Homo-oligomer: A and B are copies of this chain.
Amino acid sequence: MAVMMSIESYEGRPANVEEAKEQVVFANRILSNEGVMDAFGHVSVRHPFDPNRFLQSRALAPDVVTKEDILEIDLDGTVITQTNLKPYGERVIHSAIFKARPEVNAIFHGHPHAVIPFSCTGVPIRPIAHFAALFYEGIPLYDDYDEDTAMLIMSPEQGEKVAHALGSARALLMRGHGCIVVGEHIPALVWGSIRLRDNASIQLQAIALGEPKYLSYEEGRGETRIQLSQAVLGRAWAYWLARAKKAMPDF
């Protein structure tokens, strides 16, 4: 977990619940606008004061999520907010990972098309472009779906299996389904989610040309430190946010 600890001083974590809700809204809008999510996929942030809770939209298409849609959920997947709004069925993924990974404060699950070819051929996604360096410790693959659950992760037990497969990694591919990305805070999560998709698409092209030279472990580690700094991440965040606001008049 060296990498994540190395940026502990970065002010990416929300100062209060309102800010946390806003970050979840922003992440939903950005990942939708950049084509990483369509009508499906979800983002969560750990509660700023209570590590045993997280914030996530009710079951809704990510491009229309607002602060009013954000629910408070505990690490068993129980919705704490007094509401009739329906949560995502796959919130157990978030519960289980927040439980297993205390240093993780933000989680994305979705189905970007570019990662699926890797998920079902066993070819690992590896950093080939420096902006995807943060995956230098490797991206494991989950392919242990329960027979009667239709490849979805709907029970606490399945959530735990997925969290176990993720291990200490920053991302997990799910065979024929999509991916999970985790981050120390929402901006790092958004960076990782976009860069995973971009790297997959570049790697596919590189493999068509020949044997790619991937980033070395040291290159990946060094680049990660820089890319998750406030200077780099802050610029990217402002850029993606402005694009989303321009494309979404209601935002």
Contacts and interface: CB of A to CB of B under 8 A. Distances in A.
Interface of A: 38-40, 59-61, 63-64, 86, 89, 111, 113-114, 116-118, 120-123, 127-131, 133, 143, 145, 147-152, 175-178, 198, 201-202, 204-215, 218-219, 222-223, 225-226, 231, 235-236, 238-240, 242
Given A129-B111, A239-B63, A117 B212 contact: yes
B207 A207 contact: no
- Residue from the set A128, A176, A218 with the largest chain B CB neighbour count within 10 Å: A176
B150 A223 contact: yes
B204 A204 contact: no
B113 A202 contact: yes
Contacts of A147: 218, 222
A62 to B, nearest CB: 9
30 contacts: A39-B236, A39-B239, A40-B235, A40-B236, A59-B231, A86-B231, A111-B129, A113-B129, A113-B198, A116-B128, A116-B129, A117-B205, A117-B209, A118-B209, A120-B214, A121-B209, A121-B210, A121-B211, A121-B212, A122-B213, A128-B176, A130-B151, A130-B176, A145-B219, A147-B218, A147-B222, A150-B222, A151-B223, A176-B213, A176-B214
Contacts of A117: 128, 202, 205-206, 208-209, 212
Contact of A148 (B40, B151, B222): B222
Contacts of A121: 206, 209-213
A25 to B, nearest CB: 17
Contacts of A118: 209
Contact of A116 (B152, B202, B207, B242): B202
Given A129-B111, A222-B150, A226-B150, A59 B235 contact: yes
A49 to B, nearest CB: 31
A198 B178 CA distance: 14
A113 B131 CA distance: 11
A133 B149 CA distance: 13
